[in-house]
Amino acid sequence: MATSAYTTPAARPRVLRTPAPATLEAEDVSAWFAAHKVLDRVSLTMPARQVTALIGPSGCGKSTFLRILNRMHELIGSAALAGRVLLDGEDIYDRGRRITHARRSIGMVFQKPNPFPAMSLYDNVLAGLKLNAIKATRAGKDDLVEECLTKAGLWKEVKDRLRQPGGALSGGQQQRLCIARSLAVRPRVLLMDEPCSALDPTSTRRIEETIDELKDEVTIVIVTHNMQQAARVSDTCAFFLASHGTPGVIVEHGPTDMMFNAPEDPRTSDYVNGRF
Ligand code: ADP
Ligand code: MG
């Protein structure tokens, strides 16, 4: 009997090709909530195939900056904005460039895991496909679910219960499900806003391993309050500060090793050594 051209998952056509990770650049980004200026001319290059950590005290604008990087702030009552955000050189705010382009190319994972609680694990992973009107065959979807859950380090734990609801997982598993859901639309950049703050140390470790494994295929920008985590996972680090009601600025940025061991600014040294 003749065998089908597509007998093994590896031989089947992919739902979406995996694009190369992109370099993301913020140029002179300033932001305001009404009259309150929260970021002042922040410039930062977040290179492809690297993990960039954003560190700094609460309220200095890290989350606002992260949302501006994929136009998410336009969803939350919006900060007014000046400056540019370039994805491999293309301004995501260019007139004529659709917001969905930015959101699809630049995925986001939040502090609090937010899978669709009543939706099955299988459908949770594929939710972004539906939102972006990406068509896929049943076999293509099966492959994509397995691939993304494997990359998020969750496949072995859940492969026999893909029909269970997302809300039935532990917090750490839910966060890994959210990472799998982000990966399914093949982003070129993944933004993570304190992804481990709500998790126990074991789950945190698993997510750090996942970040390590992902960085060759997606540029990662992570906000973290955990200095050991910043030192473990990031290649580049940027220290944000907003002192005495002034807007947030980047005090210093550079290779993580340098930021932790030989920072130029004494405030960076104080912050990374817990003297803030
Ligand atoms: P971080 O993530 O570093 O803690 P944020 O980006 O959340 O900082 O906040 C930066 C500043 O912007 C804070 O002063 C905060 O109060 C203000 N801010 C954040 N979100 C909003 C919002 N939706 N409306 C008004 N002000 C906001
Ligand atoms: Mg924040």
61 lines ligand 1 (CB under 6 A): yes
User: Per-residue pLDDT tens for 63-118?
Assistant: 999 999 998 888 776 678 999 999 999 999 988 778 888 888 999 999 999 999 99
Torsion of CA 211, 31, 272, 220, to 10 degrees: 10
Question: What is the atom index within ligand 1 of the atom nearest the CA of 77?
Answer: 23
167 lines ligand 1 (CB under 6 A): no
Q: Which two tokens stand for residue 108?
A: 């986001």
Question: What is the atom index within ligand 1 of the atom nearest the CA of 58?
Answer: 4
Q: Which two tokens stand for residue 14?
A: 């992919």
Is 73 in contact with 13 (CB distance < 8 Å)? Answer: no
List per-block mean pLDDT (blocks of 10 residues) for the chain, which spans 276 residues. 50 73 96 93 97 97 95 78 94 85 91 96 93 86 95 96 97 97 95 96 95 95 97 98 93 98 97 90
For residue 32, list its beta bridge partners: 37, 80
What interface predicted TM-score (ipTM) does this complex get?
0.98
Is 210 in contact with 179 (CB distance < 8 Å)? Answer: yes
The residue whose CB lies within 8 Å of the most ligand 1 atoms, and thus the one to mutate among 30, 32, 33, 66, is 33
Q: What angle do CA 183, 188, 192 make, to 5 degrees?
A: 65
How many Å from the N-terminal Cα to the C-terminal Cα in the chain? 72
User: Per-residue pLDDT tens for 109-139?
Assistant: 999 999 999 999 999 999 988 877 788 899 9
Question: What is the atom index within ligand 1 of the atom nearest the CA of 34?
Answer: 25
Rounded distance from Cα 242 to ligand 1 centre (Å): 11
